[in-house]
Structure 1
Amino acid sequence: MSSGPGADSAPAPSTHESPPTPDAASAKSSKSSKSSMFSSLRVRNYRLFFSGQVVSNIGTWMQRIAQDWLVLSLTGSATAVGVTTALQFLPMLLFGLYGGVLVDRLPKRRTLLFTQTSMGLIGLALAALTLSGHVQVWHVYLAAFAAGMATVMDNPARQSFVSEMVGPDQLQNAVSLNSANFQSARLVGPAVAGLMITGVGTGWAFLFNGLSFVAPITGLLLMKARELHVVERAPRAKGQLREGLQYVAGRPDLMWTIVLVGFIGTFGFNFPVYLSAFADDVFHAGAGSYSLFNTLMAVGSLGGALLAARRGTAKMRVMIAAAVAFGAMELAAAAAPSLWLFALLMAPIGMFGMTVNVTANTSIQMSTDPAMRGRVLALYMMVFLGGSPVGAPIAGWVTDAYGVRAGLAVGGAISALAALTIGLVLARVGNLRLSVGWNRGHPHVRFVPRERQEKEPVPAAA
């Protein structure tokens, strides 16, 4: 179902994760996937997609900054800015699962042409209103909600289309490079937006974003359909939403991965609440330090995405270990006595957080039946993106009541505890036990099958 013209003669199946004991062919593939951090860019279709996303992601970050600034300048209300953000996430919470159903039924490339064109037109409309001086706050609200509606289908379609472009062997590398692409734009986009807003006004930032969608649309049109890995689409039928939920419920590896991402997204990723409070209330350093914190976290996230691309495989133990480390780093940052120590901890927090996201995304894609991939990814994105509107008020309440150090510590503790608990649950489901030993003078910690651990003799000393 995942093979197509141009595919390898015996690719690993895309309907499930790589088995614990891969054969020679898959081992060779794994080795080759580690040989280059940018190996998936050798695929022409993915190269076109990636190049288009470079431009579009910068435009998207520019619009986010310009949109918030415009609302603040129109209303003078931080609450209005929060309403704008909520309107962008609301469609995913309300209709995300239905978007996944549609994505499973429809051709991914054609769907992306529609969603990317829609988002480009939204940006151009907002630019026209702003540059003409007729923009009102309800226009921005409407544009944010419309962009959120397009995202309902764009997110799962864009995520699942990656496997059709590169196939299973290069999937982790491609997903990791997508994350690196997004994080690079996160470094560039806000800086360019700030210069553009100061120099010529917010309307030009919206115009750039609208025009930036020409790049991914052109890339999609230039792709060679015969080089895509053919995936059987789900036929139109009743009960497909319920079928998707039942599919996830019957797969502990998928269900617990999504639960873990939900906990971390809800309680661990409330950095807009924490970082601004640390900059102003704890270290009394102002907006410059807030910008520094965000920049260092983005650098760490970029590094985490590139390391995931270099690793080449998505392993559950890597995800669990990274989630525990993410929570531990947040606990350390909560207790950091100085601004510079706190700032330095932002990089590993970004790196471990990105490792969790990339590994979870890849493992879900690789272990999901292609006909179910849109629905499963829609649920994944809904849980991850939907966690912020739920978690941010909780983080704000803890911060107001007990201080920002307590708020960050609670978020880190919940993230680490959730990772440890889910790791133990997955180990029990997989009939695994924790094995601790020494290998050439170094500690070696891993999960091994219970039967194997019980039957293996103790090796004689060398």
Structure 2
Amino acid sequence: MPDLTPIESPESQPGSSTEFPPARSSFPALRKGLIAFQYRNYRLLWFGQLISVTGTWMQSLAQAWLVYEILNANAFQLGLVNVLQFLPVLLFGIPCGIIADRFPKRSIMLVTQFIMMILAATMSALVFTNVVELWMVYVIATIFGMANAVDMPTRQAFVSDLVGREAIMNAVALNSALFNTGRIVGPAIAGILLALFGPAVLFGINAASYIAVLAGLAMIRIAPVINLSTDSPIQRLRDGLSYVRSTPTIMRTIILVGTVGTFGMNFNVWIPVLASDYFEAGSNAYGLLFSAMGVGSLIGALSLAFSGRGPNHKRMLAGVAVMGVSEIALAFVANSGAALAMGAVTLAFIGFSASNAMSTANTTVQTTSDDGHRGRVMAVYMTVFAGSIPIGALISGWVTNQFGAPTSVAMGGTIVLLMALVQFRVPQRAPSTSSQVSPSADARAHS
């Protein structure tokens, strides 16, 4: 079991790391696009996560099939499984940021990833032995959500500990590319294996995939961010929330992300209805539209990684504005009776712009926050982002039922566009010196 002893004071242990010096490439363009891969620790985590995320997407498909087709649950019960996985993040995500700031992030992730592996293996065994019942799925989904509530802010904040500050934007973009690669590859493989072997094998594969990320974490050598705060958890929580409120760059970015999540990312509501009722196609169209958006998101993440640019608030707002305009265009395409291909192309643009904007938002928050607050700041960020999507799903679901999917999409795109325009008009205040990432992040990554 990893050591979760509170970290000692900064004076007693200056930031040091056994990270190897960045590798040098003879191809400047490639090196600029993969600058985060020059850090051994980041490579270990990234490749481990690539395997694990792919397995997680495979399990998502298997779980939905198990609940709906094998256990004969209804749509509400299927949705409840997703709610139970998400609810702990919404309820406990911000307090869990205290854990990320208080204990070594690597140790926390070793614990949370191991718990998730055991849960996946348990599901595989339950399905394989034909003893699984719906209440068991509910229990395991809830425990998974609790582990994820700790893991999410820790994992997001950990990225800044693994690379130098100049590579954080690239690291976040490559993480987005990783996620979207898993979203494309995982379900594609899972569909074949599900038909051949059933869901138990997919749960088992996901359990095995956690070995990759656990091995990567075990091989990472880095001095933890040092923190000797004697404040109570409540005081630390208040301090973290106060830090967010008093840092304009972080606050306005989180407001933007919350708006986009609530009104602009309700694809699980929109796409099935658009595919069935407006493009008049079946499940193949449903998969095509989701894949098109995934491909666009992957291209957007890779283009940001290879641009070599740091976070820029106006570029982030431009991405959000393009996302809003593209969603309004999707509503017109659906209402006009255009071909399915037009809808797919429009969704690819939405995926591209959303990936760019959200990766930039993530990097902006990480690079603005200092080491001592980053775990709590990322907990607020992830809670707002993750919490806004199901809230938005309820709103967009009602609008879709009352007025149709194109109206719901157009409304969401319009609100997102207006928020981007409003923030364009509000002067961007430079963050204070105290809000900047401390030099120790670079020291740990390069030393």
Question: Same fold judged by TM-score > 0.5?
Answer: yes
Summarize deviations over 1:165-190 as a string: whole Å, max 9, x none: 11212111111111101100000111
**Alpha-carbon distance in structure 2 between the residues aligned to 1:121 and 1:142:** 13
Equivalence for 1:123: 120
Equivalence for 1:278: 274
Summarize deviations over 1:27-83 as a string: whole Å, max 9, x none: xxxxx8985211211211111111101110011101111111111121330111100
Summarize deviations over 1:332-359 as a string: whole Å, max 9, x none: 1110131221111111100100111100
- Residue 269 (str. 1) matches residue 265 (str. 2): yes
Q: 1:4 aligns with which of 8, 11, 16?
A: 16
CA contact (8 A) 1:71 1:81 kept: yes
Summarize deviations over 1:393-414 as a string: whole Å, max 9, x none: 1101111111111000001001
The 1:94–1:167 alpha-carbon spacing in structure 2 relative to 1, beyond 3 Å, is: same
Equivalence for 2:353: 352
CA contact (8 A) 1:33 1:173 kept: no
- Residue 235 (str. 1) matches residue 247 (str. 2): no
TM-score by length of 1: 0.85
Summarize deviations over 1:279-329 as a string: whole Å, max 9, x none: 111111111111111111000000111111112311111111100110000
**Alpha-carbon distance in structure 2 between the residues aligned to 1:128 and 1:307:** 41
- Residue 87 (str. 1) matches residue 84 (str. 2): yes
Once the two structures are aligned, what percentage of the paired residues are identical? Answer: 40
Equivalence for 1:315: 312
State the superposition RMSD in angstroms.
1.9
**Alpha-carbon distance in structure 1 between the residues aligned to 2:77 and 2:273:** 20
The 1:76–1:286 alpha-carbon spacing in structure 2 relative to 1, beyond 3 Å, is: same
The 1:223–1:5 alpha-carbon spacing in structure 2 relative to 1, beyond 3 Å, is: closer
CA contact (8 A) 2:249 2:430 kept: no
CA contact (8 A) 1:104 1:234 kept: no
Summarize deviations over 1:96-125 as a string: whole Å, max 9, x none: 111101110000111110011000000001
**Alpha-carbon distance in structure 2 between the residues aligned to 1:284 and 1:209:** 34
- Residue 66 (str. 1) matches residue 62 (str. 2): yes
Equivalence for 1:205: 202
- Partner SS state of residue 144, structure 1: helix
Q: Which residue identity does 2:52 align to in structure 1?
A: S
Q: Which residue identity does 1:101 align to in structure 2?
A: I
- Residue 46 (str. 1) matches residue 37 (str. 2): no
The 1:56–1:8 alpha-carbon spacing in structure 2 relative to 1, beyond 3 Å, is: closer
Q: Which residue identity does 1:342 align to in structure 2?
A: G
Q: Which residue identity does 1:321 align to in structure 2?
A: A
CA contact (8 A) 1:234 1:371 kept: no
Q: 2:104 aligns with which of 86, 107, 129?
A: 107
CA contact (8 A) 2:104 2:225 kept: no
Equivalence for 1:445: none
CA contact (8 A) 1:33 1:169 kept: no
Equivalence for 1:419: 420
Q: 1:172 aligns with which of 169, 174, 180?
A: 169
- Partner SS state of residue 303, structure 1: helix
Equivalence for 1:436: none
Which has the larger Rg?
1
Runs of 5+ in structure 2 lacking a partner?
Answer: 1-9, 22-27, 432-447
**Alpha-carbon distance in structure 1 between the residues aligned to 2:104 and 2:296:** 35
- Structure with the bigger RCO (C-alpha within 8 Å, sep 6+) is 2
CA contact (8 A) 2:264 2:412 kept: yes
1:153 is displaced (CA, Å) by 1.1
